[in-house]
């Protein structure tokens, strides 16, 4: 069986890499953050690609497709917020923050492109 097309989307590939990097970064957070910041930043970063996968499943329905891409954007923005909190709390340094924050900005640009050009990603279901 051929892998789903969304695995080749650049937003998916970069989002997946970012989620893994966030996972590694969050390993250095203190134990008392396990059920708050650590869990939340991991969840939000992973949800970007989960929502992209769901968008592909709903590509037959333009509004549902767009909704799931918008959800992916929201999760990416949440990740940005958690990165800022991690820096403020001094769990990460400015260089780590800048590197990861810039990656979220790159994912955001890709998701915005998808929202502006949904038919390029909906495949055979596009009008």
Query: Which has more pLDDT, 58 or 2?
Result: 58
What gap in Å lies between CA 42 and CA 21, rounded to an integer?
Answer: 10
CATH fold, domain 31-119, is de novo design (two linked rop proteins) (1.20.1440)
Domain regions of the chain by residue span: 31-119
What gap in Å lies between CA 47 and CA 53, rounded to an integer?
Answer: 10
State pLDDT tens for residues 64-119: 999 999 999 999 999 999 999 999 999 999 999 999 999 999 999 999 999 999 99
Q: What tokens does 69 get?
A: 């891409």
Instruction: Look at residue 126 and tell me whether its pLDDT is greater than 70.
Output: no
State pLDDT tens for residues 15-47: 999 999 999 999 999 999 999 999 999 999 999
Q: What pLDDT is attached to residue 4?
A: 83
Q: What tokens does 114 get?
A: 């998808």
């Amino acid at each position: 069986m051929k892998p789903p097309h969304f695995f080749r989307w650049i937003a998916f590939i970069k989002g997946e890499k970012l989620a893994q990097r966030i996972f590694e970064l969050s390993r250095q957070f203190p134990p008392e953050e396990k059920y708050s910041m650590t869990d939340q930043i991991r969840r939000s970063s992973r949800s970007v690609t989960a929502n992209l996968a769901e968008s592909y499943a709903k590509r037959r329905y333009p509004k549902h497709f767009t909704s799931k891409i918008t959800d992916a954007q929201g999760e990416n923005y949440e990740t940005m917020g958690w990165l800022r909190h991690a820096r403020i709390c001094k769990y990460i340094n400015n260089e780590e923050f800048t590197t990861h924050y810039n990656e979220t900005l790159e994912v955001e640009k890709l998701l915005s492109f998808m929202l502006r050009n949904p038919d390029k990603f909906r495949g055979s279901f596009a009008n």
